[in-house]
Homo-oligomer: A and B are copies of this chain.
């Protein structure tokens, strides 16, 4: 059972998939057909990628007749932000430690 950042990194690593997510962020809800039209890949591929994005919690789908509308779930990016902040935090702590060390050496 991989943790959240792992799933997000793996899901967003593929350019085609990330492009789909970006379009949903920029342009809002879209049908599979609308997404396929400008995706540069076939419709089954788009459906597959959308399924993976959905599994990662990055999009939700809404069925309306024979169409499926997808939209971005921006909250799902939170673990990514957390991870980045955490890494930056460690960096900051090490910097503080260094400062402390220098201070102690100065005395």
B28–A94 contact, CB under 8 A?
yes
A84–B77 contact, CB under 8 A?
yes
Does A12 interact with chain B (Cβ within 8 Å)? yes
A80 contacts which chain B residues (CB < 8 A)? 80, 84
The oligomer's copy count stands at: 2
**What is the number of residues of chain A that contact chain B, defined by CB distance less than 8 Å?**
25
Does A72 interact with chain B (Cβ within 8 Å)? yes
Alpha-carbon separation in the docked complex, A6 to B13 (Å): 7
> Which A residues form the contact surface with B (CB < 8 A)?
2, 5-6, 9-10, 12-13, 15, 18, 21-22, 25-26, 28, 72, 74, 77, 80-81, 84, 87-88, 90-91, 94
